Structure formats: structure tokens, C-alpha cells
Structure 1
Amino acid sequence: MKIFGLTGWSGSGKTTLIVKLLPALIARGLRVSTLKHAHKGFDIDHPGKDSHNHRLAGATEVVVSSPTRWAVMHEMRGEPEPTLEELIAKVTPVDLLLVEGFKRDRHPKLEVWRREVGKPLIAVDDPTIVAVASDGPVPEVDVPVFDLDDAEGIAALVVERAVPLR
């Protein structure tokens, strides 16, 4: 399994780009999974559902299964957030794992950046960023710059620069 990341500030368009990128990568015959970091709490469960009631009653993990998908919800209950490596160990092996977020980890990444967001370029000080995708020119960097709509070009970069898991 190989890994490649997309990083950038909130509102830059990371998720939108991943949604465009996935079909381009899958069309190349790759099995692709994603792993996303959320800075705030999130919930994929709903009040009133049995699985939600199991969590509220104190279950550390709740596994839900159906003929179309299954999911594991793990309540931290005061435990530290798992590292990227610990999370990757829980992923079923595929050809490529796209990681959204995890700015500080050391895998190769593409930075999604829009000047209008008003945040600094991460790529200026981060050698793990091998390219930038933006909606305009980015003369501040000396890595390749892709248009945010160039899913095919970015897919080629991802395939070329993804690294095997250690």
C-alpha cells in the first residue's frame, strides 16, 4: 500500500479536490481509500439509533454492519488521539491511501491553497509538500503548481510521488 497526502487550511478545497481526484485514480485501475483528519468532534451516528444508544450507554466500540457497508465507531473516552500510523494500521490494504490533513506528518503531500483564504503557504517551510494545487499562480513556491481543476495532472503526480508504507 502506498500513501500520499493532501493538506491545506480549512476552506481551501481539499475535500472537493479529493472527490475529483478519486475517479481519476480509480480509472487508472487503483483501489483507493481515504483517511481524513477532523479538528473538531464529529459524529456519524444519530440520536435514537441503536448504535447511538450503545455508545451513550458506555460502549468503547460499536460495530454496525449491513449488506452494503460496515463501520466501527470508537469512543476515545479520554484516551489520546491516535497517530496517523495507528490509524493506517486499521485500514484494509489497498493500492493507494489518500490522507487528508495531518499537516505535520512526514509523508509526501500536495498543498491545496487559495490566496483568498488568507492563510500562509505551508509549502514554503515544509519539504514534504511536493506540489501545490491552487486557483491562481503561486510564485512563492519552487514546487510544481497545478490548477485545482486538473484532476488528471494531479492524479499523475500522486501516482508518481506516493510512497510505500514503512
Structure 2
Amino acid sequence: MEDWKRLVEPYTRPLFFAHSRMTRGKTLGVRGMVIEDNARVLLVEHTYLEGWWLPGGGVDAMETTGDAVMRELREEAGITVLEPPKLISIHSNERFFPGDHVLIYRIDRFEKGELTSHGEIKNAAFFDFDALPDNINGGSLRRIQEVTQGFPPDPLW
């Protein structure tokens, strides 16, 4: 069932980008770095993209970026955030989509719940910092390294 989404995504993504570009000059996304016991990080595997990613998505109209990351975590991974998420870095995603920006939030206090992604997320799991999956998205890997290894934030995703 999910394989068809990965097959059609390369064809539908340009239409999504064209629509986004016509309806707004810039786009804004959020990703949540949910850290468990200061040793593991939450990653999700989408049904329509390859690899593992930090969970997140676009900021909706009339929504703050903090509210967006909490909504995305709830939708994609069943995570309820128990304290305000902490903004840790901002990145330009120009290489992937001109005009796109991604804000990274850190979440240390949360509760686990049911996945509610309705087919968008194939898997959600916590991984030890020193045992991340081989097929992790490069931008997600760099953000985790910036936090866990003290690397300075790269302004590019």
C-alpha cells in the first residue's frame, strides 16, 4: 500500500511546490528533536519519502511555529509535548526547495501515545544517538550531530 506513495511522490512533489510557490513567497517548516533520557532521538519513516527523518511538517495559516511542531509530533508520532518546545536552530532549505526554511525545536518532556498519521507515517521509533539508522536523512543527521556533538548549526539544511 505505501509503496505506491513513494512511486508517485516524485511526480506529485513538483505540483505541490508549484502550488506552494503561487500561494506564498516563502515556506516555513518545523521539525521536532524529541530526546528521550538524553540518549535517544525520535525519527519517523514516511510512506512517501526514503529514509528516516526528524518528525515535522509545514506551518499552517494562523499557527505559531511552536504550535505547528507540537501538532506535527502528535499527528506523526503520537507525542504529546509537556512543556514549550525550545527553538534550537533555523535552516535554509534552498537546495531542496527555494524559499523554504526549517526551524528545529528540542523537546525533552513528553508523553508517548497512539500514532494518528492516517497513512503518512510508516514507522516511528527512538534510536540511540550512537546507533542511528544507515538511511537517515542527511539534514536530520546533521541536526542531531549539532545537538549531541556540539557542532555549530549549519545555516543550510
Bin of the TM-score, shorter chain as denominator length: under 0.3
Q: Quick check: which has more Rg, 1 or 2?
A: 1
The structure richer in helix per residue is 2
Relative contact order: is structure 1 or structure 2 higher (C-alpha 8 Å, sep ≥ 6)?
Answer: 1
The structure richer in strand per residue is 2
